[in-house]
Structure formats: structure tokens, C-alpha cells
Structure 1
């Protein structure tokens, strides 16, 4: 027990060091580039069959879906670089899969799997992001996918004493707040939406769990569970050519929508930064459209109403604005249009990044004339 506690504390220490590094190192921001590379990971392979159904093996199903997905991306988004962690029936260690994504500076990492459970009546598709499991069922899924490490040589050293079958080992994931969690959840929600609306699969939702394959990825990452091989009807579907085509095309549409949002935000951020840099010390006006104690998730609420949302924090509240101009007459004109969407919107003023009163803003501008 003493040795286990020592190893657990050691893992906690390294996790904290990693968190400090990522939070204090200036990573290359997504907004400064366009979506260029996606890494597609077909789970299991070679000596690791994954889940086994009555007529199919997980490793074969997910490889077919991965290759189809990559083909759709290459055909419809030729500017996007597609990289696979495997293209045939070979065994790839879990830590090497994330390493491939990191070395290629991927903008998105997608790991594809098929599920299994002791209750045959359970079926449906679900998509996971890295985090601490909230239910015993999510923990069991993570245990199943992580158990592959026992096939690797000296896995206790590679994974710092991590035991895939011990619930205590998963405590480390409570510390690991993925800096890309919002983007990962957004991508996962796009996948689930496509599965439900375009393929007609049962939507088991977006979930969190401690997957080793996602742990070291330094970009938005999701793990897709296509369905349950332990359910006869679902196994037949995802093992069929038709089912694999549908599931791959659904994930492709999610990638396409994610890329469009990614690129749109990149362009908008560059425009906003350029505009703001030219008026750092001058007065500018904005229209406040929301205030919240908690951060509003991008893509929802006011983000869905306006293309140019800018957030600032004042005390314990997060405040959201749209429009930016140094002309008072222009902001008043814009206010009329904004109030058609948000009735209680109002104008606020800044000098550089410091908020000031409208009266002071007008005085400063009058002196500058």
C-alpha cells in the first residue's frame, strides 16, 4: 500500500508539473492559424482485437470507419492534411497514438472505437472527452479501452504505475483539466448531433472519462464509441458496409462543421485584434449584451446571436459585448439594431482596456478634437 501511495503521489506531482507547464507556456494559439491537420486514430489493432461481437471485432470495424472518414476529408477538404495512427491491422501503443498527433501539430485528434457491455439490450453511440468519470458506467468504458496497455512491454513504467483496472488510478484525471476542453466538448457535440439527426442512432450523449489515449494529446481530442458489439442489432449495423459508410460520413460532417467554426473564429480574432491594437490608448465604445457569473460557452446564447462577441471580466462577473468603434454616433446607430436581438443592450466605453463612463469618454474625445 505504501508503494502504491508513493506512486500515486508521484503521478499527481508530474500531472501538476504538466499543468503548470501548459498553463505558463505560450502555446501556439488556434486563432493564429487555419485548420490544417486532423489525426484519425483507429483503436486497437494487431494482437489487440478490442471488443468482440458475434460476427465482428472492434479493431476491424473502427479501421474501416477511420479509412472512410479520412477518404471523405481528403475528397471534400483537400487543404486538410489527414494522418492516421494506423492504416492496417497492426498494434500501436496508446502513448504512441497521441505522440503522432503531437508531432504533426494536429488541430484535432479523433480516436474511433466500438463498445461492449454485459447487458445486451444497451445500445447507442456516445462521444467522450478527457476528464474524470461521473458515473460507474463511464469508468467501465475507460477501463475497457485502457486495458490494452497490459499488452505493451513494461507498461507500468511507461504509464507511471497506472493500473487500468484500479478505480484509484483514475483519480489523476481529476487534476487534468484539458486546456482544450471547450473545443473538445464542442466537437463531441457535433459528432453526436450528426449520429442522431443524420444516421438515426440512439444518442447516448457527450461524456467525460479518463482515457489514456487522450491524456497526452495537446489539441482538442475526442473518443468516439460507434455503438455496442454486444447488442445484436447494433453490431449488424456497424459491422455492415452501409453502417460504416453512414457513421464515417457523420463524423466527416462534424469535422467539416468544426473546421468552419475554427476558421471563422480565426479570421474574426485577427480582425478584432487588429482593430483593438490601433486604438489601445484611445476611447472606444462597445455594446454590452450579457452579464453572467459563469462563462458562457462559445457557440451558445449571445455567441449564437452575434459574430463579434468580446468578453471582459468585471469583479466576479463575465460581461459580453458586441460592436467596437471610436465613434459615438456609430455605436448609437448600431445599438438600435442590436436591441432587436437583445432588448436591454446598452453602450459602454473603454480607454484602452480600462472601462470608463460614457461622460468621461465624450470629454476625452472632445479634448482630442
Structure 2
């Protein structure tokens, strides 16, 4: 099969890597350091939906992720906690910073007064909705359990949206890499475990704000949902969730490693990487090309990066009197889903996937139905 062109997506990541000092070429022997953070702990049980304990479930998942990562060569795993102890939010971030970590992954379980369910992964950013703010507020309120929290957190108020604005600036340089990992996590959990997709989101989590490396916070599901809570509280659910998160981290590390190996010059225009995301036959559609539609307009724009928020290799077609602008081109449905999430976080929230066969647009639901997706 002809190799899919995934270079435009990987190029963005690769150029960012040139400034990521913990992976600089002059330190090739430095292990890739992953800090795993099990949310809550000790007297902070987190949410206790349906009688389950978030702190225990998060810890079990984190330990399983770490056990698999530790089997990989040149990977160093650091845990913010390995037992049921209370760790302050600022100390969790400090652990990662002191270790000069390359990645910070925080694992949690969600709760809601409704019967909500599904998985979502957060990167740091201003909340885009009241729902995102409420999730961040709930996780940030653990600071009230700490002594002298007013002094330690410099007047930060989890209940005040304005307190979040200053948090975002420090993490901006790692945002694209954080989005990549978050997208890989969502892709694995949704497609392989068939969980409801609550997408990659941005919100103001203190624990992400204070880390100086790509960072994500994973809400694995809702303990308050009877079915999902039971799943996450089971050994099966924890093992499966850990497996998919670990695989996402491994895919992320693989993409970083391959890109660095091929990055001879930071001004390289194109880098071919055949496998950033593990593919399966079920995800490859022979004769079908998927693209992400960014916009449709009567204006004819030059599809250059400066016109499309820095996105490279945007293509333009004319259809029904309108100019359609697309990003990406692949026969792998997993990859196009990740690319869609990427461009949505880059500033195209209404972007969606379209399918083509022999150069003509075809009905996406029918294409997916042909493989039982």
C-alpha cells in the first residue's frame, strides 16, 4: 500500500522539538523521563461516586502504566506517589521539574450529579466552557486541604476564573506537544475500549500549570455513573485503561525519538514518519482518503500557513461555488481522528472529517459502516 502522508502533522511536532532542551541532541544518552501522577491520596480521597475511591483507582492505574513503561529501554519512570499518601499539588509539579522530566501525566476519575459518562483528557488552557471550569475547579480545590495554602499559592483562588488567566502563559510553549499526547490517549481509549469520547479539552489545572514540560490530565471516566464506575473500580477496567494510556505514551515517545533522529536541521521543510500511531487493518480503508475540513468560504485564500493558524500543507478545492480548505490526507481513520483533534485545538473547533474515493467526496458514515465502525 502507498505510504500515507503524515508529514504535515509530524513537522509541527518536530520543529517544536528543536527547543525542547531535555531532548537536545547534545544529551543523547539522557533517558526519557516520564512522571506519573496518581491524583489525590491520603486524607484526600477525591470523589467517592457510588462508594468507590478515586485516589485508589487512580493509583492502581498509574502503577500499571509505570510497570509497562519501565520495561522499555532508556525510559525512566518517576511517581509522585506509589502509596496512599497525600501529596500537595505544588509538590507534584515540583517532583517533575526537579527530575527535568520530559512528560507529566496525571490520572483522575470524574464525577457529576447527572449520569454523565465517558473519558476526556485535558491540557492547560483557559476554560472554553463552564463545564471545563467546573472540572478544573473541582480538582484544584484540593489546595484547601493544605496548610497555609494562601501563602503557598500566592492568592490563587480555584473558584475565580480570573485566577486561571496567568496560569496559561507558562505552558504555551509545550501546548502542541501536550495536545499530541492528549489526542493519542483519547484515540486509544475511545477506539480500543469503546468508551464515550468527551474529547481533548483545555482547562486551568494548577498541577499542569506549574510543570515545565508537556503535560496532560486524564479523566478516565465517571465514578458517579453506575456502569462506568464499576468498570473503573474493576481489575479489568484498570488494566485496560492503563494499557491504552501506556500505549499512547509509548507512541508519543516513539514519534519524538524518530523525529529527533531524522531532524538534521531545524529548518527542514518535510519529515516523513510512517508510523506515529500504531495502526491495525481495521483502521485502514483501501481506496479511501480521509481529510479534515477546516473551512468553506466564497473567498479564495492562498493555503499557506500564515492564513491557517500555522498549519502546513493545507489544500484547497472548489465545490458547489465554495472553496473548501482541508488538512491532512490519510487512509488511516485513527490518524485522521488525531489530526482532527489537533486542528480543533489549534483554533478550528468546527473542523470535521470527510472521505474521498477516486477523488470524489463520499458519505463518511457509510464508509465507516463498511468496517463496522
The TM-score with structure 1 as length reference comes to: 0.67
Query: What is the CA–CA distance in structure 2 between the aligned matches of 1:297 and 1:157, rounded to whole Å?
Result: 45
1:58 pairs, out of 51, 54, 57, with 54
> How many Å apart are 1:171 and its aligned residue?
3.1
State the match for 1:192 in structure 2: 186
Aligned pairs (5 A) from 1:238-277:
238-269=232-263, 271-272=264-265
Q: Secondary structure at the match of 2:136?
A: helix
Q: Secondary structure at the match of 1:249?
A: helix
> How many Å apart are 1:176 and its aligned residue?
4.5
Query: What is the CA–CA distance in structure 2 between the aligned matches of 1:296 and 1:157, rounded to whole Å?
Result: 42
The structure-2 alpha-carbon separation of the partners of 1:304 and 1:290, relative to structure 1 and needing over 3 Å to count, comes to farther
State the match for 1:221 in structure 2: 215
Query: What is the CA–CA distance in structure 2 between the aligned matches of 1:218 and 1:40, rounded to whole Å?
Result: 14
The structure-2 alpha-carbon separation of the partners of 1:304 and 1:38, relative to structure 1 and needing over 3 Å to count, comes to farther
Summarize deviations over 1:210-237 as a string: whole Å, max 9, x none. Answer: 0000111110000000001111111000
Query: What is the CA–CA distance in structure 1 between the aligned matches of 2:116 and 2:142, rounded to whole Å?
Result: 23
Aligned pairs (5 A) from 1:32-43:
32=25, 36-43=32-39
Query: What is the CA–CA distance in structure 1 between the aligned matches of 2:312 and 2:94, rounded to whole Å?
Result: 29
> How many Å apart are 1:163 and its aligned residue?
1.3
Q: Secondary structure at the match of 1:87?
A: coil
Query: What is the CA–CA distance in structure 2 between the aligned matches of 1:27 and 1:158, rounded to whole Å?
Result: 29
Query: What is the CA–CA distance in structure 1 between the aligned matches of 2:164 and 2:211, rounded to whole Å?
Result: 17
Query: What is the CA–CA distance in structure 2 between the aligned matches of 1:58 and 1:151, rounded to whole Å?
Result: 16
Summarize deviations over 1:88-130 as a string: whole Å, max 9, x none. Answer: 00000001111111111111100000011111x2100000001
State the match for 2:84 in structure 1: 89
* Structure with bigger gyration radius: 1
Aligned pairs (5 A) from 1:1-369:
28=21, 30-32=23-25, 36-75=32-71, 77-119=72-114, 121-173=115-167, 175-269=169-263, 271-272=264-265, 291-292=304-305, 293=307, 294-296=309-311, 301=327
Summarize deviations over 1:66-103 as a string: whole Å, max 9, x none. Answer: 0000011112x132001100000000000111111111
Query: What is the CA–CA distance in structure 2 between the aligned matches of 1:73 and 1:272, rounded to whole Å?
Result: 30
Q: CA RMSD in A?
A: 2.6
Q: Is this contact kept in 1: 2:304–2:312, CA < 8 A?
A: no
The structure-2 alpha-carbon separation of the partners of 1:123 and 1:162, relative to structure 1 and needing over 3 Å to count, comes to same
Summarize deviations over 1:306-333 as a string: whole Å, max 9, x none. Answer: xxxxxxxxxxxxxxxxxxxxxxxxxxxx
Query: What is the CA–CA distance in structure 1 between the aligned matches of 2:81 and 2:248, rounded to whole Å?
Result: 21
The structure-2 alpha-carbon separation of the partners of 1:274 and 1:222, relative to structure 1 and needing over 3 Å to count, comes to closer
> How many Å apart are 1:275 and its aligned residue?
9.3
More helix by share: 1
The structure-2 alpha-carbon separation of the partners of 1:52 and 1:295, relative to structure 1 and needing over 3 Å to count, comes to same
Q: Is this contact kept in 1: 2:182–2:200, CA < 8 A?
A: yes
Query: What is the CA–CA distance in structure 1 between the aligned matches of 2:20 and 2:65, rounded to whole Å?
Result: 29
The structure-2 alpha-carbon separation of the partners of 1:59 and 1:111, relative to structure 1 and needing over 3 Å to count, comes to same
> How many Å apart are 1:268 and its aligned residue?
1.6
Query: What is the CA–CA distance in structure 2 between the aligned matches of 1:274 and 1:164, rounded to whole Å?
Result: 42
The structure-2 alpha-carbon separation of the partners of 1:174 and 1:68, relative to structure 1 and needing over 3 Å to count, comes to closer
Question: How many equivalent residue pairs?
Answer: 265
Summarize deviations over 1:119-151 as a string: whole Å, max 9, x none. Answer: 1x2100000001100100000000100000011
